[in-house]
C-alpha cells in the first residue's frame, strides 16, 4: 500500500522555487570547480609541452661548473619565458637529467623532496653541491689566484 501524503508537509511553490534556485547555484559552483581543476591539470602539461618545444639540452652530470651553470641558467630563462609554474619546475627539469645526473636524482631525489620548502631554488643548490664538488672549486680557485695578465 502506498504511503499517504500529509497535506501539511507539501512544499509551497515558493519553497520549491527556492530549492530549484539552490540546486542551480550548486550546479554552477560545481561546474566552475571542475573547470578550474581541469585548467590546473592542463597548465602543468602545457608548461612541459612549452618547455619541450624549445628543445632544451639534457644535463649528464659532468663535474664542470661551466656546463652546470649554463644548464641551470638556460632552464631559469626557459621557465620564465614559458611562464612555467614554480611547482612544476623541478619535475620538468628532472626529465632532462641523463646518465650520472639521473642516477644521482634517482638516489637523492626522494630524500630531497621530503625537505620542507623543496623547490626549484633548492634543487639548484643540491645540483651545485653534487656536481660542483669541493675539489673542483679548489682547483678553480687556485687557477683564479694564479691568473696572470
> Is residue 92 situated within a structural domain?
yes
Q: Which domain holds residue 90?
A: 40-145
d(CA 84, CA 92): 9
Share of the chain above pLDDT 70, in %: 77
pTM of the model: 0.65
Inside any domain, residue 18: no
Distance CA 84, CA 81 (A): 8
**Model pLDDT for residues 27-51, shown as the tens digit of each residue:** 666 565 655 655 555 445 799 999 9
The whole-angstrom separation of Cα 102 and Cα 127 is: 11
What pLDDT, in 10s, does the model give residues 47-83?
999 999 999 999 999 988 899 999 999 999 999 999 9
Query: Domain for residue 16, yes or no?
Result: no
Whole-number Å distance between alpha carbons of 89 and 48: 9
Does 146 have pLDDT greater than 90? no
- Determine the pLDDT at residue 21: 77
Task: Report yes or no on 10 lying in a domain.
Answer: no
Residue written as cell 560545481? Answer: 30
Average pLDDT over residues 100-124: 97
Q: Is residue 11 part of a domain?
A: no
Domain count, the chain: 1
d(CA 66, CA 44): 30
Please give the pLDDT value at position 31: 63
Q: Is residue 32 part of a domain?
A: no
Is the model more confident about 123 or about 26? Answer: 123
81 located within any domain: yes
In a domain, 60, yes or no: yes
Cα of first residue to Cα of last residue in the chain, in angstroms, is 107
Amino acid at each position: 500500500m502506498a504511503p499517504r501524503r500529509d497535506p501539511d508537509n507539501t512544499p509551497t511553490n515558493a519553497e520549491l522555487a527556492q530549492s530549484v534556485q539552490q540546486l542551480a547555484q550548486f550546479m554552477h559552483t560545481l561546474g566552475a570547480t571542475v573547470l578550474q581543476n581541469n585548467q590546473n591539470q592542463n597548465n602543468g602539461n602545457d608548461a612541459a609541452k612549452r618547455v619541450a618545444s624549445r628543445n632544451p639540452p639534457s644535463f649528464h652530470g659532468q663535474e664542470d661548473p661551466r656546463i652546470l651553470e649554463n644548464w641551470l641558467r638556460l632552464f631559469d630563462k626557459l621557465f620564465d619565458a614559458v611562464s612555467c609554474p614554480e611547482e612544476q619546475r623541478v619535475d620538468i627539469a628532472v626529465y632532462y637529467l641523463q646518465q650520472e645526473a639521473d642516477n644521482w636524482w634517482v638516489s637523492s631525489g626522494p630524500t630531497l623532496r621530503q625537505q620542507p620548502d623543496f623547490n626549484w631554488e633548492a634543487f639548484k643548490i643540491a645540483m651545485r653541491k653534487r656536481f660542483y664538488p669541493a675539489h673542483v672549486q679548489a682547483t678553480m680557485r687556485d687557477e683564479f689566484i694564479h691568473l696572470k695578465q
